[in-house]
Structure 1
Amino acid sequence: MGTKGKVIRCKAAVAWEAGKPLCIEEVEVAPPKAHEVRIQIVATALCHTDALSIDPAFKGAPLPVILGHESAGIVESVGPGVINFKPGDKVIPFCAPQCRKCKFCLSPLTNICKNVVTDQELMADKTSRFTCKGKPVYHFLGVSGFSQYTVVSDINLAKIYDDANLERVCLLGCGFPSGYGAAINNAKVTPGSTCAVFGLGCAGLSAIIGCKMAGASRIIAIDINSGKFPKAKALGATDCLNPRDQNKPIQQVIAELTGGGVDFSIACVGGSEVMRAALDCTTIGWGTCTLIGVAADDNDLTISPVDLIMGRTINSTFFGGWKSVDSIPKLATDYKNKKFDLDALVTHTLPLDKINEAYDLMNQGKR
C-alpha cells in the first residue's frame, strides 16, 4: 500500500476524561516498528470493559486513550521481523497475547502470557504509535479498535481466512471466546449437566452456546432485561429468569428449580452480588462457578470457607482459556463451517461517529 512507512491520519474515538463521552478526533498513527503490525480496522464490537475502564469508580486506563479491543481488520503494513503477516491479510487482534516463548505460553495449564501485563497501554518500546493534537495517546489492551487504523504487536494478532465477514468475526476478539470458552475450557461443562448463566450480553449468550455444545440438559439464563430471553432461548437456554420478577433471592429460586442447585454456573456480569449468587446457586458436592465479568476495584467478593469445604469450586477465566494465536483461527473456521452462530450476537451496526450512541444502546441493554 502507498501508506507504508508513512504516518496515517484517520478518525478515532478518543477518551480524554473519565466518565465523559468519547470524542471523534483526527489522530496520527505512526508506522509499525519491529514485530509490530499496522491494521486498518473494519469492525469493532463493544464490551463493558471499555466503558468500565474510563469509569471514575474504576482504576482503569490512563488518559487520553483509544479504547476498543474486540476488532477485526486488514493488515496495512508490517514492521521489521514480522514473518507471519503481510499486507492484505484479514486479521483479528486481541487483548490476550501469545508469545509462545515465556513459561506461561509453554505451559498447558494456562493461556496467560507474561506480556499481558506489560505491553497493553504502550508498545514494547514503551512509546505510543498514536498522537492527537500534538499529544501522545495511550493504547488499550494492546488493540485500540476505536481507531480506523491501529498498531499492534504481532503476538496479539491472528490471521484468518480470506473471505471472512469482519463484521461478525470481530466478536472473536473478546466476547465470544470468553463466554464460549468459559463453558468449554474453564467450567468444563459435561453432557447431561445443569447450568446457569448470569448476564445475557455477548459473553453470556456465548456461554449458552458453549453449554449447549457441551451437551448440557438444562440451561437457565438469568438477566434483569427480559427482552433478551427470546434470543437466549433460540441459542439453547431451556429456562429464563428475571431476578426482579422473583419474590426470593435468585439463587434460592434456581436451587428449588433444580433440586438443590446447578452443576455449573457462569457469571458474565461484573458485580460481586451477581458473582455471589452464581456461586450460591450451584449444588454442594461438585458445583462449579466460573467468573467472567470484570468488577470495579472496590467490589470485593466475600466467600466463606464453608462454601468450598462443601465441595463447591470457584474459578475465573481470561479470554475463555484459549491460547489466542493458536485458537482464534480455528474458532474463525468453526464459524465459517457453521459450528456456531455469531450472527445472532449482533444487534446493531453503527458508524464510528455514533460510538457514544452505541454505548447508550449497550447501557440500556439493547445490544
Structure 2
Amino acid sequence: MATSGKVIRCRAAVAWAVGKELSVEEVEVAPPKAGEVRIKIVATGICHTDEHVLKGCFPNVEFPVILGHEGAGIVESVGEGVTSVKPGDKVIPLCLPQCGECSFCLNPESNYCLKCHLSEPQNLMPDKTTRFTCKGKQIHHYMWVSTFAEYTVVPEYAVAKIDPAAPLDKVCLLGCGFSTGYGAAINTAKVKPGSTCAIFGLGGVGLSVVMGCKAAGASRIIAVDINKDKFAKAKQLGATDCINPRDCQKPIQEVLTEMTGQGVDYSFEAVGLKETMIAALASCNMNTGICVMIGVPNSASEISLDPMILLTGRTWKGSVFGGWKSRDSMPKLVSSYLEKKFNSDLLITHTLPFAQVNEGFELLRAGKSIRSVLLF
C-alpha cells in the first residue's frame, strides 16, 4: 500500500489519565518493525474491561494509553519476517497472544501464552518502545492491540487471519466478549447435555455463556443479574429462568440450591466481584459442581474462603479467552459464525460512529447496552 513504511496520521481515542473521559485525537502510528503487523481497524466493540482500566482498577496499565481490545480490521503493512498475514488480509487482533513457543503454547491442554499481559506488561511493544505518539508525547499500547485507533501495530503472534467473507463490524465481538463467554461453557466447563447452569452477570460475556450452555444442551439455564432489563435478552438467548438477587429474601446461592435441589452442575461468574465469585462457587453442587471464574476482578481483590466449600469435591477454575488457543481457533470461530452455528450478532445493541466513543461508554455504565460497536 502507498502508506507502507511511512508514519500514518489518524484518529484514536486517547485515555490521558484515570477517571478522564476519552479524547479523540490525531495520533501518529509508526510503521511496523520486524515481526509486527500494522492494521487498519474497521470496527471495535466496547468491553467492560476497558471501563475497568479507565476507573483505575488495573494499576499495571500505564497512561496515556489507547485502549480497546475487541476489534477487526485489514492488514495495511507488515514488518520484516512476517509470513502469516499480508496486506489486504482481514484479521482480528488478539488480546491473548499465541507465540507458539512457550511451554503453555506447546501444551495442547493449555490456551494461555506466557507473553500474555497477565505474565508480562504490554504497555509497550515487545522491544519496549511504542508505535503511538500524540502531541509530541509517547502513548502506551494496551494488551498490544489498542483497537480504539484507526491504525494499530501488533506483534505477528497477536493477530489471526480470517475468512475474507467475514463482516468486520460483526465478528469484532469474537476478539473478546463472545469467545470468552461461549468458550467458558464449551471448553472450560465442558457443559454436559441435560445439566443445570447458573450465570452471574448478563453483560456481553455472561450472555455468551448463556449461548454456550444452550449449545451444549443444558436443560436449565438460570441467569442472575441485578439489572432486570437484561432478562429479556437472556431468555432470547436460551435462559430458562432469570433472577434478581435484590428480589430474594435469602442469599442467591441458597435460592439456587433450593431451585435445583442440591445446587447447579455448573456456575459461571462474569462480573468480577469477590462477592459474586463466592456466591457462584457456593451455588454449584458440593460434589461434582464446577464453578468457572471469568469476570476480571480489581487487581487489589482478595477472597477469604471457608475451605470446607471445596473439600467435598467442588471444582473452582478460571477461564481466559474461553479456553481457545487464540491464533489457531479464531479462523475456526469466524468460519462457525459464517456457517451460522451461533449468532453473536444478537449481542450488538448499538452501532456508533467512532467519534461517539464516550457515548458508547455512557451506555455501558448505565446498563443500557450489551455491546456497542464503533465504526471508523
Query: Normalising by structure 2, what TM-score?
Result: 0.96
Alignment correspondent of 1:65: 65
Aligned-pair CA distance for 1:298: 2.5
Aligned-pair CA distance for 1:315: 0.4
Structure-2 separation of matches of 1:345 and 1:56: 26
| Pair 1:346 & 2:348 matched | yes
Deviations 1:56-89 (A, max 9, x none): 3542410100000000001101110011111111
Aligned-pair CA distance for 1:108: 1.7
Q: Counterparts of 1:198-347 in structure 2 under 5 Å?
A: 198-347=200-349
Aligned-pair CA distance for 1:304: 1.5
Structure-1 separation of matches of 2:188 and 2:295: 14
Structure-2 separation of matches of 1:233 and 1:209: 10
Shift >4 Å, 4+ stretches: none
Whether contact under 8 Å (1:53, 1:60) holds in the other structure is: no
Aligned-pair CA distance for 1:119: 5.9
Alignment correspondent of 2:374: none
Whether contact under 8 Å (2:39, 2:76) holds in the other structure is: yes
Alignment correspondent of 2:104: 104
The farther-off stretch of 315-324 and 56-65 is 56-65
Structure-1 separation of matches of 2:157 and 2:57: 31
Whether contact under 8 Å (1:119, 1:142) holds in the other structure is: no
Deviations 1:208-236 (A, max 9, x none): 11111111110000111111111111111
Alignment correspondent of 1:178: 180
Q: Which residue type is aligned with residue 35 of structure 1? A: G
Query: Normalising by structure 1, what TM-score?
Result: 0.98
Deviations 1:102-139 (A, max 9, x none): 11100023111111133622111110000001111000
Whether contact under 8 Å (1:350, 1:358) holds in the other structure is: yes
Structure-2 separation of matches of 1:211 and 1:267: 14
Secondary structure of 2:349's counterpart equals: coil
Unaligned runs of 5+ in 2: 370-376
Whether contact under 8 Å (1:219, 1:238) holds in the other structure is: yes
Q: Percent identity?
A: 59
Instruction: Kindly report the root-mean-square deviation, in angstroms, between the aligned alpha carbons of the 2 structures.
Output: 1.0
Q: Relative to 1, partners in 2 of residues 1:205 and 1:102: Cα closer, same or farther, differing over 3 Å?
A: same
Q: Counterparts of 1:74-113 in structure 2 under 5 Å?
A: 74-113=74-113
Secondary structure of 1:330's counterpart equals: helix
Secondary structure of 1:278's counterpart equals: helix
| Pair 1:144 & 2:146 matched | yes
Q: Which residue type is aligned with residue 66 of structure 1? A: I
Deviations 1:11-35 (A, max 9, x none): 1000111011011111000000011
Whether contact under 8 Å (1:198, 1:221) holds in the other structure is: yes
Deviations 1:317-345 (A, max 9, x none): 11111100000100000000000001101
Aligned-pair CA distance for 1:364: 0.9
Structure-2 separation of matches of 1:326 and 1:119: 23
Q: Counterparts of 1:5-84 in structure 2 under 5 Å?
A: 5-84=5-84
Aligned residues: 367
Structure-1 separation of matches of 2:193 and 2:131: 48
Whether contact under 8 Å (2:96, 2:112) holds in the other structure is: yes
Structure-2 separation of matches of 1:250 and 1:60: 33
Structure-2 separation of matches of 1:323 and 1:233: 30
Alignment correspondent of 2:366: 364
Structure-2 separation of matches of 1:85 and 1:279: 42
Q: Which residue type is aligned with residue 92 of structure 1? A: I
Whether contact under 8 Å (1:54, 1:61) holds in the other structure is: no
Structure-1 separation of matches of 2:292 and 2:33: 39
Secondary structure of 2:115's counterpart equals: helix
Structure-2 separation of matches of 1:314 and 1:60: 26
Secondary structure of 1:155's counterpart equals: helix
Whether contact under 8 Å (2:60, 2:121) holds in the other structure is: no
